Structure 1
Amino acid sequence: MKISARTSQNIAKVIIWSAALLVIVILLAIILYILAKGIPVLSWQFLTEIPRNMGRSGGISSSIVGTLLVTSVAVIVAMPFGIGTAFYLTEYTRESRITRIIRFSAESLAGIPSIVYGLFGFIFFVTYLKLGWSVLSGGLTMAIMILPTIIRTSEEAIRTVPNLYREVGYSLGATKWQTITKTVFPSALPGIANGVILSIGRCVAETAAVMLTAGSALRMPTSLFSPTRTMAIHFYILAREGISIENAYGTAALLITLIFLINVVFNMLVNRFIAKGR
């Protein structure tokens, strides 16, 4: 039996829309379930107090600070190297063996399990460099982990900028650097920002690599050399050990809320920057 082109197109649309709807429903179901269980736990005391009794009581203020510190170190270190590498691959060199090696290395690093990054960070940063279990060790390890993501997403965003933009800049007498900073970078910024946001989300949600490098101390970190426990690690320990399932749900709900707020704020800043550039 031969199916007409219109019928096959309608069948394909139904399958595609059904798959997309299924993904959305599953995602919403997970998020709503966690929020329903976790939001009642959230309170001012929960957000501002340090965990006590292994997390059975108190709050998660130290874990919130630890998460923000580890993520900030990772992004501050990885972002310049990742974006700079992407501009080098797209603007300052032609396709060659070196560029292929760099891309292959980035793709290979992206596929390495996080526990391997954690083992490397423990051996190199914690032990060899004698940084100990600290915010700095965890942040540097996470910087290496998110570097491939920033490189690949930034490179693809830069490649989407039409060559006409560059040619117009050169025809007006602009240097390559001026063309990149005034034309290419603002045009590619939304795509670059998406890569950074994905990297931030991975830092916030990571457990294995951070546990082996930043530690799991419950006290408030006072410097970059202090051990700390991120919210993801706190949630993992509370749930795995059965210490407090209620506090685990509260931590998970706060994690989801934090990632959502980071996405909103980052997009607002990017849109404001683009608007000023225009």
Structure 2
Amino acid sequence: MLVSIIIYCVLGACAGVLAGLLGVGGGIVIVPMLVFTFGWLNFPPEHIMLLALGTSLGSIVFTSISSSLSHSRRGAVDWRAMLRISPGILLGTFCGSHVAAHIPKQALQIIFVVFLVYVVSQMFLGKKPKASRELPGTLGMSAAGLVIGGISSLVGIGGGTLSVPYLMWHNVEMHRAVGTSAAIGFPIALSGFFGYMLAGLSAQNLPPYAAGYVYLPALVCLVTCSMLTAPLGVRISHSLPVPKLKRCFAILLLCVGAKMLLDIF
């Protein structure tokens, strides 16, 4: 149990740095690492992926608060855009978590790996979407939020890998897009957290200390450490070449994805 707690704490510290540095919420690392850890702890196989997704989103609730406030102090959060996209985010993420509860475990893992490949390709290529338009009104933003929230709930992330390109496509400057994405991560994580918790209330054979599809010991460790390290990630993002760091991070993700594929097949 002590080893698993140390693992959760290390994951939380990494997630906090990643949330501030890349605006990705850390879930892209937390989910596969929780899958490996829960498997090592012999959790019921049918619940492992759902527990990883729900716990990841629960931790991002707190990570996003710390990260977005740090970005906000630097004037890097468009709160108006965040509020306009939130209705769609809340609905999409909540519905997505209930859909995930009815998808076979292997299919969920394949969805995650496919998304991982997308993230890695974006990081290696370093392409930025061509800014060719302004942000739409509340209806258009909510529609985008519905898609971003739905996908984010299926892969247990704060949505940064989707919302940052979307914002940049609409003429939002890079640092401001990352800061706003961190703030958008809050409604994504909050809705997904409650969605997975409610979806798992009737599930049988869950491990002790699980609240639906949220594993509380892991959540506490992740939250405690990520809240401490998120401001560090923000400081790094304003002083280091983020594109180069992203490519190094992509190599790590590639290894993680390969391991998940081996476990699936």
TM-score by length of 2: 0.32
Q: TM-score, normalised by structure 1?
A: 0.31
User: Which fold has the larger relative contact order, with Cα–Cα distance below 8 Å and residues 6 or more apart in sequence?
Assistant: 2
Q: Give the structure with higher Rg (CA).
A: 1
